[in-house]
């Protein structure tokens, strides 16, 4: 019977070419952040949110509901667009694959109140500062239900990029800073 553990084929030592199980660590590559999503976490997606105050920012956004894309809007343009924009806090979060994303939570209205949807979303963001959580829409209750992971999950590895860099990536090509922007013209019925 032939020995199947034999390493040599002719004069070539195949064992010298065997890939090590941790080969990815030795390739000298680093995952670059080239895409940062803006939106609520998908159903079933566990996430953590940053505890650092500098990783949250209040901004105006315009949501293209057809394409499900958020645009960053300057305060001057937001004044003109009025209710077409929303004032939100972007909260930096990260999923289990260490992909950063922003959760936009609408700010309170002029009376300092939020309806139950953004209030429950904010509660999830706050809870996610200390634990892995996921949310699910509960239409009968009018809230996002919060579920905490029960396993001993690894802590998140936060990106080394600054908040400005992450926001720049998230809204790359999607900044509305003047009234000539096509989204402004469409919202005003000019095109």
Token reading at 149 = 């992971």
| Beta strand pairing call for 100-106 and 37-38 | parallel
Buried b (16+ CB within 10 A) or exposed e, 110-136: eeeebeebbbbbbbbbebbeeebbbbe
Per-residue pLDDT reduced to its tens digit, 46-55: 999 999 999 9
Token pair 């999503």 in the structure block, residue:
37
Average pLDDT across the chain, whole number: 90
Per-residue pLDDT reduced to its tens digit, 14-57: 777 777 666 555 566 778 899 999 999 988 899 999 999 999 99
Per-residue pLDDT reduced to its tens digit, 106-136: 999 989 999 999 999 999 999 999 999 999 9
Token pair 């195949």 in the structure block, residue:
14
pTM for the whole structure: 0.82
Among 8-17, 36-45, 66-75, 94-103, the range scoring the smallest mean pLDDT is 8-17
CA 102 to chain centre: 4
DSSP 11: T
Task: Quote the pLDDT of residue 65.
Answer: 86
Token pair 């400005």 in the structure block, residue:
164
Token reading at 183 = 């989204």
């Amino acid at each position: 019977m032939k020995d199947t553990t034999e390493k040599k084929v002719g004069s070539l030592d195949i064992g010298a070419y065997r890939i090590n199980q941790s080969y990815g660590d030795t390739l000298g590559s680093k995952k670059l952040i080239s895409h940062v999503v803006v939106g609520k976490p998908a159903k079933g997606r566990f996430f953590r949110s940053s505890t650092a105050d500098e990783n949250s920012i209040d901004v105006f956004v315009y949501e293209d509901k057809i394409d499900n894309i958020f645009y960053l809007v300057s305060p001057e343009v937001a004044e003109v667009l009025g209710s077409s924009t929303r004032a939100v806090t972007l909260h930096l979060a990260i999923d289990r694959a260490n992909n950063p994303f922003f959760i936009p939570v609408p700010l309170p209205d002029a009376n300092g109140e939020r309806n139950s949807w953004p209030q429950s979303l904010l509660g999830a963001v706050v809870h996610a500062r200390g634990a892995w959580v996921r949310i699910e829409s509960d239409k009968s209750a009018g809230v996002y239900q919060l579920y905490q992971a029960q396993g001993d999950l690894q802590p998140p590895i936060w990106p080394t990029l600054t908040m400005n860099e992450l926001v720049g990536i998230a809204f790359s090509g999607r900044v509305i800073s003047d009234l000539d922007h096509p989204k402004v013209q469409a919202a005003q019925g000019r095109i």
